[in-house]
Chains A and B, each alone.
Chain A
Amino acid sequence: MRNILLVIRREYLVRVKKKSFLIMTLLAPVLFVAFYATVIWVAIESVDTKTVQVLDESGLFSKEFKDTEALKFMYIASSIDSAKTGFKKSDANALVYIPADIIRDPKGVRIYAEKNVSMDLKSQIEKVIEKQIEDIKLSEAGITHKILEDSRVNVSSETISLSEEGEKTSSSGAATVIGGICAFLIYMSVFIYGTQVMRGITEEKTSRIVEVIISSVKPFQLMLGKIIGVALVGLTQFVLWILLSTALTSAASAVLSSKMPDNPAQMAQEMQSIQKGMPAQGMPGGNVENPVAEVLGAVNSLNIPLIVGCFLFYYLGGYLLYSALFGAIGAAVDNDADTQQFMLPITLPIIFSFVFAQLVLRDPDGTLAFWTSIIPFTSPIIMMVRIPFGVPAWEIALSMALLVLGFMGTTWLAARIYRVGILMYGKKVTYKELAKWIFYK
C-alpha cells in the first residue's frame, strides 16, 4: 500500500510540475473566455450603422422602415435612374426600389448595392415589405388594424416535467447544453489522460527502468499507481479550469456589461439572433422576458448536485475503464509508433459514443439512448448526456454497477497483459500473442 502511494505521488508530481501542465491549465480557461468574449464583442461591435436608401414609388411604405441601431433608412423621391446615379455618389450601403405596382407584383422589389448585400439585410427588407403587403391585403378584405394587432400573440412555451416530486419547470435547452458539455469533457479527458497512461508505461518500458521498479513494486501496483496518479492530474486540471473559468468569466462579463449601452437582455437577444442567423429586431410590445434570468432559472431547475456527482463518477469510471486498456497497449509495444495498430479497437467505442451522443441529445429516452447508456463502453459519455434530462434511478444504478464491473474487468485484463508485456523487449506483438499473455499463469 505504501508503495502504491509512492507511485501515485511520483506520477502525479511529475506531471503537475511539467511546464506543459501549467500552460494548459492556465491557457485553456483564458482561451475559453477569450473565445466567448470575442463572440460577444463582435456581436456588440458589428452593429455599425448602415444606411439604406428607399425609393418608394408605391407610397405604401413611407413609415414602415424603422431605423434600428444597425440600419438607417433614408427615403428619397426621384426617378429610379437618377436615384441610381445618386446612390453611387452617396455613401449609402444599399438602395431599395419599390415599384408602384408592388401589390400586384410583389417580385418587383430591387435592392441595389455596390457589393452583395447580406442575407440579413435582404430578409429584413423583404419581411417589412411582406408584412405591409399582407396588412394592406387584409384590410382590403375588411380586417381592421385593431384585429390584426390583437391576433398577434407571442407564444412562448414552457416544458413541465411530471415526476414524483411534482411539477417543476424544466428547460430542454439547458439540459441539452449541459449534457453536451459533460459528454464532450468526458470524451476529451478519456482520450487525453488515457494516452498519457499509455505513454508513461511505454516510456518506462523503453527506458528499461521498469525492471528496477518491479523488483520493488508488484507490476499491478505500478500500473494502478500510474492510472490513479494520472486520474488525479485530470481532476486537478478540471478543478483548476472550473475555478479559473468562473473567475475569468465573471471578470470579463463585468467589463463587457459596463461597455454595454443597454440592459443585458438586449445583449442576450442579440446573441440569440446571431445564432439564428436573423437580424436583431425589436419585438413588438413590452413582453420581452429577461433571457439571462431565464437561463439561470433553467439551469437551476436541473438537479445540479446529481449532475456534478454523476459527472465525477462517470469521468472516473470511463477513464479507469479505458486507461487500463490504453495501459495494456503501452505495455505491449516497444515504442509510441507501434501503438497505432492497437489503438483503433479502443478508440472506436469512444468515438462512437461521442457520435451517438449527438443522436441521444435529440431523443434522450429512446432505445439507442437506453442501451448505450447501460453498456459500460459507451455509458460514461451517453449517460452524462441523458442525466440532465432526467433518468430513472434504476437505470443510473444499473449503468453505474455495470461500469464498475466493466473497469474491474478491463483492469484485470490489462494487468494480465501488462505483467508479461513490460518485460518483453524487441518483439513485434500480435493480437494472438496478446490473447496468449492473458492466459499465462
Chain B
Amino acid sequence: MNIIEVRNVTKEYANHVALDDVSLSIPKGCIFGLLGPNGAGKTSLIRIINQITGPDKGEILFDGQHLDQSHISRIGYLPEERGLYKKMKVGEQLLYLAQLKGLSQKQAMEKLKSWFIKFDIKTWWDKSVSDLSKGMQQKVQFVSTVLHEPDLIILDEPFSGFDPINANLIRDEILELKKKGSTIIFSTHRMETVEELCDNIALIHKAKKVLDGPKLLIKEQFKTHTYFVEYRGNLADLGELYELGQEKNLENDYKRIHIHLANHVSPNELLSGLLQRVEIRSFGENIPSMSDIFMRSVNEVPES
C-alpha cells in the first residue's frame, strides 16, 4: 500500500518547467529519500504534496484517495527555510501551529507537555523565539512538525543547523516515528543520511524522475561486478576474464587493486585464482555508495 502516489505530475512556471511528467509511489511506513541536485524540482513536488500549490497536470493520491484539504492534518511539513514567529512565545506558538493542524487546545497541550519533557526544554515555554539559538529554534520547529502525529512527515534537509548531538536526537526520533507507523519523506543532499536511514529513494533531475525504488534494489542495479583485493605478490597473469584496474601501493608491500569480472564469472572463481597466486589480506565486492549512484545518474542525463 502506498501512502503517496504521484501520477504524471507536471508543473510549469512562467519561464521554466519544475516537474515534467513525474510519477512515483511512496510505500507506507518507509523512510523515503527524495534526492536531486539544487533546482531539480524537489521543493515543487513537496509543495504540491502539501497543497501549497497545485499541479498543472496529473494527480496525487493520498492513501488511495484523491489528495484534498482533509489530508492536511495528516501531513507534517518541515520546510528547508525554517521559520517561526520571532516575537511569539514558544508555547503559544506551538499551540497555535498544532491547532491549525486540527488538534483541540487540550489535545495539543497534552502532547506538547510530553515533548517538552522528552526534549528537556520545559523552561522554554514562556521564552520568546528570538531569545533561542538557531539549534533550539530547529528543535521547536521539529516538535511543531510532528506534534499532531501525522501519517506522513515531510522533512526538507532536517539535519542542517543541528550539532551532532541534536542531530542524533532527531534521528532517533525519526526512527521512533517510523516504528510507530509514520511514513517519512526526506529531501536532502546528504548522501550519508540517505545511506543510513532511507529504505526507498527517488532521484529527480532537471524536472524528470531518473530513478526510484527500494535502496537495496537500486544498489544492485548499479553494481559494476567489480571486486577489490588487498594482497602481497604478483597478479599480472590472472587471465582474460579479469580486467585489472590501477594498482595502488600500500604499506608493507601490500597493494590494492580493483578487478572487474566478465559477466558469467563468479567471485568464487576469482578468489580461487587469487589464492593460487598471492597472499590476500582482504577481499570484497565494490558496492556503489549512494553518492556514486547520485553522481552517475545525474551525469548520465544528457544536457538539454
A residues at B contact (CB < 8 Å) = 3, 6-7, 10, 14, 203-204, 207-217, 423, 425, 436, 440-441
**Could you count the A-B residue pairs with CB atoms below 8 Å apart for me: how many are there?**
58
The 8 Å CB contact of A212, one of B56, B77, B88, is B77
* B104-134 interface (Cβ within 8 A of A): none
Chain A residue contacts of B144, Cβ below 8 A: 212
Q: How many residues of B contact A (CB 8 A)?
A: 27
Q: Does B51 contact A (CB under 8 A)?
A: yes
Chain A, Cβ-Cβ closest to B14: A436
Chain A, Cβ-Cβ closest to B100: A216
Q: Does B214 contact A (CB under 8 A)?
A: no
B residues at A contact (CB < 8 Å) = 14, 47, 50-53, 56, 72-73, 75, 77, 79, 81-88, 96-97, 99-101, 141, 144
Q: A207-B84, A207-B85 are in contact. List 6 more A-B contacts (CB 8 A).
A: A6-B100, A207-B83, A208-B81, A212-B144, A425-B81, A436-B14
Chain A residue contacts of B83, Cβ below 8 A: 207-212
Task: Return A431 CB to nearest CB of chain B, in Å.
Answer: 16
The 8 Å CB contact of B75, one of A7, A215, A436, is A215
Interface of A is mostly: helix
Task: Return B240 CB to nearest CB of chain A, in Å.
Answer: 58
> Please, how many angstroms separate the alpha-carbon atoms of A208 and B100 in the complex?
17
> Please, how many angstroms separate the alpha-carbon atoms of A103 and B52 in the complex?
92
Chain A, Cβ-Cβ closest to B54: A441
Chain B, Cβ-Cβ closest to A425: B81
Which of B53, B81, B101 lies at the interface centre, i.e. has the most chain A CB atoms within 10 A of its CB? Answer: B81
Which of B81, B84, B96, B100 lies at the interface centre, i.e. has the most chain A CB atoms within 10 A of its CB? Answer: B100
Chain B, Cβ-Cβ closest to A222: B100
> Please, how many angstroms separate the alpha-carbon atoms of A204 and B86 in the complex?
9
Which of B52, B72, B96 lies at the interface centre, i.e. has the most chain A CB atoms within 10 A of its CB? Answer: B52
The 8 Å CB contact of A214, one of B52, B96, B97, is B52
> Please, how many angstroms separate the alpha-carbon atoms of A207 and B129 in the complex?
11
Chain A residue contacts of B141, Cβ below 8 A: 212
> Please, how many angstroms separate the alpha-carbon atoms of A215 and B52 in the complex?
6
> Please, how many angstroms separate the alpha-carbon atoms of A10 and B86 in the complex?
14
- A441:B99 contact, CB within 8 angstroms: no
> Please, how many angstroms separate the alpha-carbon atoms of A3 and B99 in the complex?
8
The 8 Å CB contact of B86, one of A7, A207, A215, A425, is A207
Chain A residue contacts of B88, Cβ below 8 A: 14
Chain B residue contacts of A212, Cβ below 8 A: 77, 79, 83, 97, 141, 144
The 8 Å CB contact of A3, one of B75, B81, B100, is B100
Chain B residue contacts of A210, Cβ below 8 A: 83
Chain A residue contacts of B87, Cβ below 8 A: 14
8 contacting pairs across A/B (C-beta < 8 A): A7-B100, A207-B84, A207-B85, A209-B84, A210-B83, A212-B141, A214-B52, A423-B47
